[in-house]
Structure 1
Amino acid sequence: MAGDLSPQCADRLGRRSNCNALGRGKPRGTFGRIRPRRCRIARRRTARARIRPDRSEFREPCRRRSGTDRFRHPPRRATTPLLPLALFRSRSVSAGVTVLIASNVALYGALFYLGLYLQNIQGFPALETGVRLLPLMAAFTLASPLGGRLTARFGPRVPLTAGMVLLALSFLGLARLSAESTYLAQWPWLGLLGIGMGITIVAATDAIVGNVPGEHSGVAGGLQTTAGQLGGVLGISLFGVLIAGNDAFVGGMQTAMWVGAGIALMSALLAIAVEKPQPGK
């Protein structure tokens, strides 16, 4: 009777048996029977062949590159890049991004370490420290509309240059602070720092967004935001390195303010390269 069964296959011991008989319809008493491994593999291959389509026609055009080929022939251009590098061919956009980064280096670096100066050196609590920094933020809020009017009348070049000069003057004043300095020697320079920042940020935004084609205005807005955030990170890091490299906190803060003044003056010279946006853009 075993010779009539089909299909035939062999288990590991070479005994031939019926795959169907071993796989299905087992009597109740044959509980411990296990289907031979070769029979199971044969059934799996048959099932896969039924459900898998033939993809041989797609193999030739979609030949995988080796790792060496990928490094040897990297993709040089993207059809729709996230940030078209051609935008930086405009000197106004490049100068605007640089000046915006420099101004945020000034704002965040000074704001962070002036707070530490007021708390750790002069001993003011956190609430009173925030109140003493209010002239900076109040001047920033009032100067922003003024920067918009100046930019609309003269273009971004004049307010950018003036704002960075004010930043440089405020840093030179803050560099004269000592551990015994009174608040009367602090708040005028804080207010001047806020005025310079308010004028600069508005003009830099117009220099970046206004000098790109209309279809890239959204990308330019994102570039402006990223430049501001990058400036904040660089400002806190740069000022922190300068202060940590000094034996005393006040001495390191004075050095950081001198460096900030130099950065602001160089950015003021760079702002001269910014052009007024064309009405057609």
Structure 2
Amino acid sequence: MACLGQFMVLLDSTIVGAALPDMQARLHTEMTGLQWIVNAYVLLVAMLLLTGGVFADRFGRKRVFLSGAVVFTLASVVCALAPSLNWLITGRVLQGIGAAAMSPGSLALLAAAYPVPQERVKAIGLWAGFSGIGLAAGPLAGGILVEAFDWRAIFFVNVPIGVILLLAALPILRESRNPNAPAIDIPGTILSILAVGTLTYGLIEGGARGWTSPVILGSFILAVVFIAVFVTVEARSATPMMPLRLFRSALFTVSNTAMVMVGFSLMGSVFFLSQFFVHVQGASILNSGLETLPISLAMAIASPYAGRLAARYGFRIVVTVGLAVAGLGLLAFGFVHSDTGYANVWWRLAVTGVGFALTMSPLTGAAIQSVSPQESGLASGISSTTRQIGAVLGVAVLGAIVTTREAGGASFGASLNTVFMVAGAASLVTAVFTGLWLVKAKPAESVGPEPRRQVQTVD
């Protein structure tokens, strides 16, 4: 059931991308409006994932997970019935709140159920496999639903999934929590939300308003101030929501740093895939969903094996290879043009999907294994937060590249070629970073520490 919840969250990520061309036509919005349809969700997820992980550890992972599922399902109804762009963005905000509770809750439930590191890595691989299936189903399901109805259908599809999840999970899932969880760090919670919120707002709006506009510069300045105050408060707090000691672990720090770049390259490039096939190659929305399928299908197939490979060879080797493969796939896709036949396109997407599949679950597993089982909700929240911040960076920065290139006279297709190459280069640079760290790392760090204490489980 935890995996099904993650499936629903990831399905929503890619199914929306397939519907963006139809949304643009029916809602009469420009690129900025499309970015907000995606980023309103990503923004709230990024702001609240850390809080969701802390709440899951303290109040019960099952409780927080199922509460998120209720909010996500109801928010999907709001999106489906939205009469305007502003209402749709409001619904996406509510979806983000629900997803911020579901995602760390689902991962923490798995971590509590599998306290042995090697078994936990394999379970996280299965969790990542369901995530990959959700990613894979999104473009095709979105194309079919939009072709048969319109963009509203992609949100209605979440309702039966949410209902099935709730009815099945209530009797099956066992509650677990951290019995030693400290009181909620209210100042830290507020400061973390403000810091991530101001930073992501500036990244989202920077391309449209201009990176030197007073509003954008002000948001970045506020973000720096909030981050500095947050670090100071957390360092002095007896019960911080994000213990800074976690970052003394090289395993934890490097895995989260790499996760930022995974979010940047993966979600930033996926945002533009459907638009590339529709607006550059002239495909229908249904065909664009089919044509983007190789990247998601490859992730669905390869993700379960990533956990097994990481358990056997260590996460650093698997992650370094995965990032390099993903980067090469994106660079290759950057050479696709309007007249490139699909026989010479699909394999580039498949290579990219395999690379990211080898990367995501080992990075997540490494972050969780570097802390005690009692803090698994917090660790999963931090890991998911860094990925979402990377996703915001990807959509915002790559979107700004498109806007800037088009303003300079480049075609939309040429602008997208640049986007895919930048995403690929970012993945390759991150691969070099993890590879160099691999050389310096101790062999004992390749899997992660043994759990220090069992988690209290409540029937």
1:216 to partner: Cα distance: 2.0
Relative to the length of structure 2, the TM-score reads 0.44
2:317 aligned residue (158, 169, 190): 158
1:233 aligned residue (392, 400, 411): 392
Letter matched to residue 362 of structure 2 = A
Q: Is 2:369 the counterpart of 1:210?
A: yes
1:260 aligned residue (409, 423, 444): 423
Q: How far does the alpha carbon of each residue in 1:19-72 deviate from its partner, in whole angstroms, 9 at most, with x for none?
A: xxxxxxxxxxxxxxxxxxxxxxxxxxxxxxxxxxxxxxxxxxxxxxxxxxxx9x
Moved more, 140-149 or 255-264: 255-264
Q: For residue 124 of structure 1, give the secondary structure of its aligned residue in structure 2.
A: coil
Q: 2-side partners of 1:255 and 1:88: how far apart?
A: 34
Q: 2-side partners of 1:257 and 1:204: how far apart?
A: 23
Q: 2-side partners of 1:96 and 1:78: how far apart?
A: 25
1:26-175 to 2 correspondences below 5 Å: 77-175=236-334
Q: 2-side partners of 1:242 and 1:181: how far apart?
A: 23
Q: Is 2:434 the counterpart of 1:271?
A: yes
Aligned to 1:19: none
Larger Rg: 1
Q: Answer whether contact 2:331 2:425 (CA < 8 A) is retained.
A: no
Letter matched to residue 141 of structure 1 = A
Letter matched to residue 279 of structure 2 = N
Q: Which ranges in structure 1 are unaligned for 5 or more consecutive residues?
A: 1-70
1:180 aligned residue (332, 335, 339): 339
Letter matched to residue 96 of structure 1 = S
Moved runs in structure 1, 4+ residues, more than 3 A? Answer: none
Q: Answer whether contact 1:208 1:224 (CA < 8 A) is retained.
A: yes
Structure (1/2) with the larger helix percentage:
2
Q: Answer whether contact 1:95 1:270 (CA < 8 A) is retained.
A: no
1:237 to partner: Cα distance: 1.0
Q: 1-side partners of 2:398 and 2:343: how far apart?
A: 24
Moved more, 197-206 or 210-219: 210-219
Q: Answer whether contact 1:239 1:256 (CA < 8 A) is retained.
A: yes
Letter matched to residue 201 of structure 1 = M
Aligned to 1:251: 414
Q: How far does the alpha carbon of each residue in 1:237-266 deviate from its partner, in whole angstroms, 9 at most, with x for none?
A: 121111111121122122222222221112
Q: 1-side partners of 2:367 and 2:434: how far apart?
A: 12
1:190 to partner: Cα distance: 0.6
1:280 to partner: Cα distance: 4.6
Q: For residue 245 of structure 1, give the secondary structure of its aligned residue in structure 2.
A: helix
1:139 to partner: Cα distance: 0.4
Q: Answer whether contact 1:175 1:253 (CA < 8 A) is retained.
A: yes
Letter matched to residue 430 of structure 2 = S
Q: 2-side partners of 1:266 and 1:134: how far apart?
A: 26
Q: How far does the alpha carbon of each residue in 1:209-260 deviate from its partner, in whole angstroms, 9 at most, with x for none?
A: 1112333222101111112222221111121111111121122122222222
Q: 2-side partners of 1:146 and 1:103: how far apart?
A: 18
Moved more, 83-92 or 192-201: 83-92
Q: Answer whether contact 2:267 2:391 (CA < 8 A) is retained.
A: yes
1:113 to partner: Cα distance: 0.8
Q: Answer whether contact 2:330 2:421 (CA < 8 A) is retained.
A: yes
Q: Answer whether contact 1:170 1:193 (CA < 8 A) is retained.
A: yes
Q: 2-side partners of 1:280 and 1:212: how far apart?
A: 8
Letter matched to residue 211 of structure 1 = S
> What is the number of equivalent residue pairs in this alignment?
209
Letter matched to residue 259 of structure 1 = V
Q: For residue 104 of structure 1, give the secondary structure of its aligned residue in structure 2.
A: helix
Relative to the length of structure 1, the TM-score reads 0.70
Q: 1-side partners of 2:298 and 2:243: how far apart?
A: 36
Aligned to 1:191: 350
Q: How far does the alpha carbon of each residue in 1:105-151 deviate from its partner, in whole angstroms, 9 at most, with x for none?
A: 11111111111111111121211111111111110001101101111
1:196 to partner: Cα distance: 0.9
Q: 1-side partners of 2:426 and 2:279: how far apart?
A: 27
Q: Which ranges in structure 2 are unaligned for 5 or more consecutive residues?
A: 1-228, 439-444, 453-459
